[in-house]
Amino acid sequence: MLMNPKHPKDSFVVMSELVLPNDTNTLGNLMGGRLMHLMDIAAAIASQKHCNCPVVTASVDNLSFTNPIKLGNLLTIEAKLTRSFKTSMEVYLKVSGEDLYTQYKYMSNEAYMTFVALDPHERPRKVPELIPETDSEKAMYEGALRRRQVRLILSGKMKPEEAGELRALFVKD
Amino acid sequence: MLMNPKHPKDSFVVMSELVLPNDTNTLGNLMGGRLMHLMDIAAAIASQKHCNCPVVTASVDNLSFTNPIKLGNLLTIEAKLTRSFKTSMEVYLKVSGEDLYTQYKYMSNEAYMTFVALDPHERPRKVPELIPETDSEKAMYEGALRRRQVRLILSGKMKPEEAGELRALFVKD
Amino acid sequence: MLMNPKHPKDSFVVMSELVLPNDTNTLGNLMGGRLMHLMDIAAAIASQKHCNCPVVTASVDNLSFTNPIKLGNLLTIEAKLTRSFKTSMEVYLKVSGEDLYTQYKYMSNEAYMTFVALDPHERPRKVPELIPETDSEKAMYEGALRRRQVRLILSGKMKPEEAGELRALFVKD
Amino acid sequence: MLMNPKHPKDSFVVMSELVLPNDTNTLGNLMGGRLMHLMDIAAAIASQKHCNCPVVTASVDNLSFTNPIKLGNLLTIEAKLTRSFKTSMEVYLKVSGEDLYTQYKYMSNEAYMTFVALDPHERPRKVPELIPETDSEKAMYEGALRRRQVRLILSGKMKPEEAGELRALFVKD
Amino acid sequence: MLMNPKHPKDSFVVMSELVLPNDTNTLGNLMGGRLMHLMDIAAAIASQKHCNCPVVTASVDNLSFTNPIKLGNLLTIEAKLTRSFKTSMEVYLKVSGEDLYTQYKYMSNEAYMTFVALDPHERPRKVPELIPETDSEKAMYEGALRRRQVRLILSGKMKPEEAGELRALFVKD
Amino acid sequence: MLMNPKHPKDSFVVMSELVLPNDTNTLGNLMGGRLMHLMDIAAAIASQKHCNCPVVTASVDNLSFTNPIKLGNLLTIEAKLTRSFKTSMEVYLKVSGEDLYTQYKYMSNEAYMTFVALDPHERPRKVPELIPETDSEKAMYEGALRRRQVRLILSGKMKPEEAGELRALFVKD
């Protein structure tokens, strides 16, 4: 099967939600886990737009929550592919909040999630190539290899000394 | 305010859930985001058991999903503290699935999440010291510093060359 | 209080959702009511973006559901303001579905909803003027008066013979 | 297949709900969309009681929300058929609220929704005839033709000049 | 404060629901717990209609589930007061299911629940007297004393030998 | 089919939940029905752990709610088998609440629920024998016969005079 390459914009998706009472903790902040739930759905949409088949979440990179999103605020999640590997895809997510009354917008967090494409027997299958277009897309595409090494090391599937890309960060030869 | 130190077992919590239809994707697998939602609640309970005050999710370490949990299966999440810092706490989570009909148990994933304790003005406040007891608790306690450096580097708050603990992994002097 | 006029693009919002099991009837179609729920939230976001204050749904124009959206498909709702009146705002909504595996996209329905802006005492308050920019925005802006007459007649607040705009549709003088 | 005619009372259904926190906006009012969701379910029950087969929402007539229903109040939705056409059914809905502490009852809104009966292949199928009994049922039965013309015109499926019933409202010959 | 007595019909309430996917177990049967959740809401409405104040569930009598209600079926819960005590009220519930396609109706179960009326300080407060009217209401009113003794004995608040009403069942003198 | 006997500890399950806004009534107390929903799931897990097959709720014994569990508190449900009959199993549940800030723990209620094991045709099937080990398990095992008679009498399936175990409570010969 021959698959045409695709561009990051082909998988771009925007999700907008109002933060409702049951999404918040007793301080009126969107719970981190509820946010991760929505981010996972947004990223699953983006990766399905790229591979046109069922997907399963393979990994979520280190997430750092900067500003909690408040009850009644607008939550916006943007997701698009950064790079496709043989059977997996890395998705970049940008999450922001907005108080619609004061028009105050704030960044909440950024994230990278990885999804695996599945065939009807739930086995990994090939995905189309991704060709970045803009400068920022190209930078994310390049960074994907390094993030992949971090992922493999952190999940114990690669030894640090094999991670050439990453080693350079620690060792200025 | 003087706070008595606590032990990991004081924050230990077990959450058991049946995977219901709305928690799954079209393949009948528990959605990764729904799982993260439940893990966040379990970890929030563990950290509140330690600090006895409101908490907010600060970060989630790299998550790798190995075996998807199936519709109708039992999901078990265990959480307990590994180390407390000045105002934050690291929580270790172990997630497993079980097909109750065939009695087949399987690991799903492990994770580390970090929470910040808040005072009534939603500002970070001090948390009790954590004293590990068992060997595995001591190992997790030790590893917490290294994971913290990974977190700080990955979120851009520390330069790789400052991460002494981590550098050792890459550079065998 | 002086309020700067705004443009339709200032209130534009996109909501993307995956249709989950609990959103569907026994035929695997998104239930009409669940869709209306999501449309109402999208339209409430659009109108809050325009007036920057709490809003309440005042009316929903005749809705006609053409193609049901299927389980697992992507649902996309786009909403933006068409015209603002003294204390109310008309929002246009476009709903489409997409089978992400076959890349088949289809229109589901279009709708007009009206929201009233509220002050802190829950009384109607003034909203900014809306200035349409594109040709289609101008056409929607013009049509808003006619739709308003339909609304007033259908809710018994205006007599048909007073509806000059509308009468022209039925009587070719 | 021969189907016995039915009466409006055969499809009559009452739905009672308490307004819970997650059903409300930040003002403590039941969200319009959540109400439409419940109205759609009530109307689907009424139409399934008439045709005894799966149904799909075809259209919702102009809805006007008069009094918002408050958090903790009792919401009552009554639904029954007004007229059946070849493969579709019109349902009338009456929605009211009640503050159970002060025993204050108030009308919220009225609506007409239309459903299409489906055979196992999801194609429209014939529905039983509806025979109105009371005076108000007969009046609603008569009005159904006029509302149907409004629906067809508003959804662009009929030209205003063809709508004989409706034209009379605007033109006093 | 003088309160006018009320009749069972004043608290009568009907709740109709369609059984949705997330309400069911893997056999497609409404889960017992989900049903109890809905019964509790229906009974809370009935008791609030009687006392016009906040209430809290005090007890649920032995429940026996005869016929499970199936996915897609109509669930109907009817609730009304049987007797009021000083600060508490007993509610009778009748639960039935209906397959709307085959018009097959079946009883699911019956239940008695008890609620306590609360003042603004969350302390028990007096409730109006209940005066039964029909024969079946009178029989339920009489039986309430005996059921109350069963409740008190089963919860360890009364010794069996003090339960005069109940003792008669076991001892034919 | 020969089935090995099991012990109560084999079916022991712990469920921990945070009480969220939508779980509470307007007084901020966990609604009785929502609690019963969670208890039913915990008990279903325990009984599936014993019989390793699908189960259906058969009955719930008299429930008495002592202390309401508050919004934001930790809810803990512990469940384990007390006795197995031919095709049914009795499960004991202990429900407690905890205010994590003040470390105040309180009992909420105890309950007995009965489940029936089902074969693939949804007919009752045999379950393994249960052998109690600790003293408290043995006491519960013994009491199960008496509770079963109460259940049969209360659901009208046994005449009081046939209930030998129970009669002894009322008649001191």
Q: What is the pLDDT of residues F38-66, one digit of tens each?
A: 999 999 999 999 999 999 999 999 998 98
| Token code pair at residue D80 | 């029954």
| Between E154 and B86, the higher pLDDT residue | B86
Beta-carbon separation of B16 and F52 below 8 A: no
Identify the pLDDT of residue B1. 57
Average pLDDT (F69-82) is 96
Residues of chain D neighbouring F21 (CB-CB closer than 8 A): 21-22
User: What's the number of domains chain B is made of?
Assistant: 1
Task: Quote the domain boundaries for residue C88.
Answer: 8-131
Q: Which helix (H) or strand (E) holds C170?
A: helix C164-170
Beta-carbon separation of D61 and C62 below 8 A: yes
Please report whether residue A162 resides in a domain: no
- The beta-strand segments (E) located in D28-147 are 55-60, 63-64, 74-84, 88-99, 104-117
Residues of chain B neighbouring A151 (CB-CB closer than 8 A): 62, 64
DSSP string for residues in A92-151: EEEEEEEETTTTEEEEEEEEEEEEEEB-TTS-B-----B---SHHHHHHHHHHHHHHHHH
Identify the closest residue of chain F to B44 by CA–CA distance. F18
Q: Neighbouring chains of E at 3+ CB pairs within 8 Å?
A: B, C, D, F
Identify the pLDDT of residue C106. 96
- Chain A positions contacting chain C at CB under 8 Å are 13-18, 41-42, 44-45, 48-49, 52-54, 74, 100-103
Residue type, D142: E
Alpha-carbon gap, residue F137 to F81, rounded angstroms: 9
Cβ-based burial of C75 (10 A; exposed 0-12, middle 13-18, buried ≥19): buried
With CA atoms as reference, report the closest residue to F24 among E57, D142, A47. Answer: E57
Averaged pLDDT in 10-residue chunks for chain C of 173 residues: 88 95 85 94 97 94 90 96 97 97 94 94 95 97 91 82 70 54
Residue type, B47: S
Identify the pLDDT of residue E140. 96
Please report whether residue C50 resides in a domain: yes
Residue that the structure tokens 């918002």 belong to = D68
Rounded (10°) angle between helices F32-51 and E32-51: 160
The number of C-alpha atoms within 13 Å of B142 and in the hemisphere containing its C-beta is: 6
pLDDT for B138-149, tens place per residue? 999 999 998 998
Average pLDDT (B105-119) is 95
- Cα E159 to Cα B111, D157, E164: the distances in Å are 53, 75, 10
SS3 category, E136 = helix
Q: Collect all residues with Cβ–Cβ distance below 8 Å to A10 and sequence separation of at least 6.
A: A49, A50, A81
Please report whether residue B136 resides in a domain: no
Q: Collect all residues with Cβ–Cβ distance below 8 Å to F173 and sequence separation of at least 6.
A: none
- Cα B73 to Cα F48, F49, F52: the distances in Å are 10, 11, 11
Beta-carbon separation of C101 and A52 below 8 A: yes
- pLDDT over 90, % of chain D: 72
The backbone region for C165, taken as left when phi is positive above 0, alpha when psi lies in -120 to 50, beta otherwise, is alpha
- For testing contact with chain B, the best of A121, A169, A171, A172 (most B CBs within 10 A): A169
Beta-carbon separation of F22 and A21 below 8 A: yes
CATH number, domain of F89, equals: 3.10.129.10
Mean pLDDT value across chain E: 91
Alpha-carbon gap, residue F80 to F83, rounded angstroms: 9
Please report whether residue E137 resides in a domain: no
- Chain D positions contacting chain C at CB under 8 Å are 25-27, 29, 31-34, 36-41, 44, 54, 56-65, 68, 118, 122, 150-151, 154-155, 160-161, 163, 166-167, 169-172
Alpha-carbon gap, residue E46 to D90, rounded angstroms: 31
Do you know the residue count of chain A?
173
Interior/surface letters B31-47, b for 16+ CB within 10 angstroms, e for the rest:
bbbbbbbbbbbbbbbbb
Alpha-carbon gap, residue B148 to B90, rounded angstroms: 9
Do you know the residue count of chain F?
173
Interface present between C and D (3 or more CB pairs within 8 Å): yes
Identify the pLDDT of residue F1. 57
Average pLDDT (A121-141) is 96
Please report whether residue B65 resides in a domain: yes
Residue type, D29: N
Alpha-carbon gap, residue A143 to A165, rounded angstroms: 9
Which of F22, F25, F26 lies nearest to residue D22, judging by beta carbons? F22
Identify the closest residue of chain E to F34 by CA–CA distance. E37
**What's the pLDDT band for A169 if we cut at 50, 70, 90?**
low
With CA atoms as reference, report the closest residue to F140 among F109, F87, F94. Answer: F94
Please report whether residue E20 resides in a domain: yes
pLDDT for B15-62, tens place per residue? 999 998 888 887 889 999 999 999 999 999 999 999 999 999 999 999
Q: Which helix (H) or strand (E) holds D43?
A: helix D32-51
Minimum distance, in Å, between the CA of residue D139 and any CA atom of chain C: 16
Please report whether residue C143 resides in a domain: no
pLDDT for D134-173, tens place per residue? 999 999 999 999 899 888 888 778 887 787 766 766 655 5
Q: Does residue A131 carry a pLDDT above 90?
A: yes
Identify the closest residue of chain C to E22 by CA–CA distance. C22
Residue A76 near residue A98, CB atoms below 8 Å: yes
Residues of chain C neighbouring A45 (CB-CB closer than 8 A): 16, 18, 74, 100
Minimum distance, in Å, between the CA of residue C165 and any CA atom of chain A: 35
Minimum distance, in Å, between the CA of residue A153 and any CA atom of chain C: 33
Identify the closest residue of chain C to E20 by CA–CA distance. C22
pLDDT for D51-91, tens place per residue? 999 999 999 999 989 888 999 999 999 999 999 999 999 99
Minimum distance, in Å, between the CA of residue E5 and any CA atom of chain D: 15
Q: From the CA atom positions of chain E, what is the Rg in Å?
A: 18
Mean pLDDT value across chain B: 91
Please report whether residue B148 resides in a domain: no
The backbone region for A7, taken as left when phi is positive above 0, alpha when psi lies in -120 to 50, beta otherwise, is beta
Tell me the pTM: 0.90
Identify the closest residue of chain B to C73 by CA–CA distance. B26
Chain center to CA of F137: 13
Minimum distance, in Å, between the CA of residue D8 and any CA atom of chain A: 38
Identify the closest residue of chain C to A54 by CA–CA distance. C101
